[in-house]
Amino acid sequence: MTPHFDVEMLKSNNPIMEVASRLGLKVNKQRGTVAISCVFHSPDTHPSLVLMSDVNRYECKSCGAKGDAINLVQKVLNVNFEEAIRWLGGVTSQYENIDPSFEEKDSYTRDTYFDAHLINRLMQKKFDL
Protein backbone atom coordinates (compact mmCIF):
# COMPACT_ATOMS: atom_id res chain seq x y z
CA MET A 1 0.00 0.00 0.00
CA THR A 2 1.31 3.44 -0.96
CA PRO A 3 1.43 5.97 1.90
CA HIS A 4 -0.54 9.17 1.50
CA PHE A 5 1.27 12.44 1.25
CA ASP A 6 0.36 14.93 4.00
CA VAL A 7 -0.39 18.19 2.17
CA GLU A 8 -1.41 20.04 5.33
CA MET A 9 1.94 19.26 6.96
CA LEU A 10 3.77 20.50 3.86
CA LYS A 11 1.79 23.75 4.01
CA SER A 12 2.53 24.25 7.71
CA ASN A 13 6.23 23.58 7.10
CA ASN A 14 6.32 26.26 4.38
CA PRO A 15 5.17 29.61 5.79
CA ILE A 16 3.70 31.91 3.13
CA MET A 17 6.25 34.68 3.82
CA GLU A 18 9.20 32.30 3.37
CA VAL A 19 7.71 30.79 0.22
CA ALA A 20 7.15 34.27 -1.25
CA SER A 21 10.78 35.18 -0.48
CA ARG A 22 12.05 31.94 -2.04
CA LEU A 23 10.02 32.78 -5.15
CA GLY A 24 11.83 36.11 -5.41
CA LEU A 25 8.99 38.32 -4.18
CA LYS A 26 10.14 41.29 -2.12
CA VAL A 27 8.94 40.58 1.40
CA ASN A 28 10.27 42.92 4.09
CA LYS A 29 9.16 40.96 7.17
CA GLN A 30 8.37 37.38 8.13
CA ARG A 31 5.46 37.73 10.57
CA GLY A 32 2.06 39.38 10.61
CA THR A 33 0.49 40.76 7.47
CA VAL A 34 2.33 42.50 4.66
CA ALA A 35 1.22 43.94 1.32
CA ILE A 36 3.54 43.62 -1.67
CA SER A 37 3.20 44.31 -5.38
CA CYS A 38 1.04 41.68 -7.02
CA VAL A 39 2.78 39.55 -9.63
CA PHE A 40 -0.50 38.31 -11.11
CA HIS A 41 -1.59 41.60 -12.66
CA SER A 42 0.05 44.79 -13.77
CA PRO A 43 0.49 47.53 -13.17
CA ASP A 44 0.19 47.24 -9.41
CA THR A 45 1.02 50.79 -8.39
CA HIS A 46 -0.20 50.27 -4.81
CA PRO A 47 0.87 46.95 -3.25
CA SER A 48 -2.26 44.83 -3.19
CA LEU A 49 -1.00 41.27 -2.69
CA VAL A 50 -1.52 40.64 1.01
CA LEU A 51 0.51 37.89 2.67
CA MET A 52 -1.06 36.75 5.94
CA SER A 53 1.29 34.71 8.11
CA ASP A 54 -1.36 34.08 10.79
CA VAL A 55 -3.47 31.99 8.38
CA ASN A 56 -0.60 31.08 5.99
CA ARG A 57 -2.43 32.40 2.93
CA TYR A 58 -2.29 35.21 0.37
CA GLU A 59 -4.94 37.36 -1.30
CA CYS A 60 -4.72 40.15 -3.86
CA LYS A 61 -7.17 42.91 -2.98
CA SER A 62 -7.09 44.09 -6.58
CA CYS A 63 -7.30 41.06 -8.91
CA GLY A 64 -8.74 38.57 -6.38
CA ALA A 65 -5.99 35.95 -6.64
CA LYS A 66 -5.82 33.98 -3.39
CA GLY A 67 -4.67 30.73 -1.93
CA ASP A 68 -2.01 28.97 0.11
CA ALA A 69 1.71 28.33 -0.36
CA ILE A 70 1.07 25.56 -2.91
CA ASN A 71 -1.21 27.80 -4.98
CA LEU A 72 1.36 30.62 -4.83
CA VAL A 73 4.11 28.35 -6.17
CA GLN A 74 1.77 27.05 -8.90
CA LYS A 75 0.82 30.55 -10.05
CA VAL A 76 4.22 32.23 -9.82
CA LEU A 77 6.17 29.39 -11.45
CA ASN A 78 3.31 28.30 -13.74
CA VAL A 79 3.62 24.67 -12.64
CA ASN A 80 1.11 21.96 -11.80
CA PHE A 81 0.23 20.70 -8.33
CA GLU A 82 2.80 17.90 -8.24
CA GLU A 83 5.63 20.18 -9.39
CA ALA A 84 4.66 22.73 -6.73
CA ILE A 85 4.75 20.00 -4.08
CA ARG A 86 8.22 18.99 -5.26
CA TRP A 87 9.42 22.60 -5.26
CA LEU A 88 8.24 23.06 -1.68
CA GLY A 89 10.23 20.03 -0.59
CA GLY A 90 7.57 17.35 -0.66
CA VAL A 91 8.71 14.03 -2.07
CA THR A 92 6.20 12.45 -4.39
CA SER A 93 6.59 10.68 -7.67
CA GLN A 94 2.95 10.10 -8.55
CA TYR A 95 -0.36 11.81 -7.91
CA GLU A 96 -1.51 8.64 -6.14
CA ASN A 97 0.82 9.51 -3.25
CA ILE A 98 -1.09 12.71 -2.58
CA ASP A 99 -3.99 12.48 -0.15
CA PRO A 100 -7.10 13.41 -2.19
CA SER A 101 -8.73 15.00 0.84
CA PHE A 102 -6.39 18.02 0.55
CA GLU A 103 -9.00 20.19 -1.09
CA GLU A 104 -11.04 22.29 1.27
CA LYS A 105 -14.46 22.90 -0.23
CA ASP A 106 -14.62 26.52 0.95
CA SER A 107 -11.27 27.34 -0.68
CA TYR A 108 -11.97 25.56 -3.97
CA THR A 109 -12.06 28.32 -6.59
CA ARG A 110 -12.17 28.54 -10.36
CA ASP A 111 -8.36 28.83 -10.45
CA THR A 112 -7.78 25.85 -8.17
CA TYR A 113 -10.13 23.80 -10.35
CA PHE A 114 -8.19 24.74 -13.48
CA ASP A 115 -4.87 24.07 -11.75
CA ALA A 116 -6.02 20.71 -10.40
CA HIS A 117 -7.21 19.66 -13.86
CA LEU A 118 -4.12 21.04 -15.62
CA ILE A 119 -6.08 23.61 -17.64
CA ASN A 120 -3.52 26.32 -18.35
CA ARG A 121 -4.14 30.00 -19.22
CA LEU A 122 -3.79 29.36 -22.95
CA MET A 123 -6.54 26.73 -22.91
CA GLN A 124 -8.73 28.99 -20.79
CA LYS A 125 -8.36 31.79 -23.32
CA LYS A 126 -8.81 29.51 -26.36
CA PHE A 127 -12.07 28.03 -25.03
CA ASP A 128 -13.22 31.27 -23.34
CA LEU A 129 -13.34 29.71 -19.88
Q: State the pLDDT at residue 45.
A: 85
- The secondary structure element, H or E, covering residue 35 is strand 33-36
pTM of the predicted protein model: 0.67
pLDDT per residue, tens digit, the chain (129 aa), is: 334 558 888 899 999 999 999 999 988 877 889 999 998 988 888 899 999 999 999 999 999 999 999 999 999 999 999 899 989 986 654 444 444 444 444 455 667 666 666 666 766 676 676
Q: Is 126 helix (H, G, I), strand (E, B) or coil?
A: helix
Predicted local distance difference test score (pLDDT) of residue 55: 95
Residue 118 φ/ψ, nearest 5 degrees:
55, 40
User: CA of 38: how far to CAs of 20, 120, 121, 124, in Å?
Assistant: 11, 20, 18, 21
Collapsed DSSP state (helix, strand, coil) of residue 64 = coil
Burial class (CB in 10 A: 0-12, 13-18, 19+), 51: buried
Count of beta carbons in the 10 Å neighbourhood of residue 81: 21
CB-facing half-sphere around the CA of 90: CA atoms within 13 A: 28
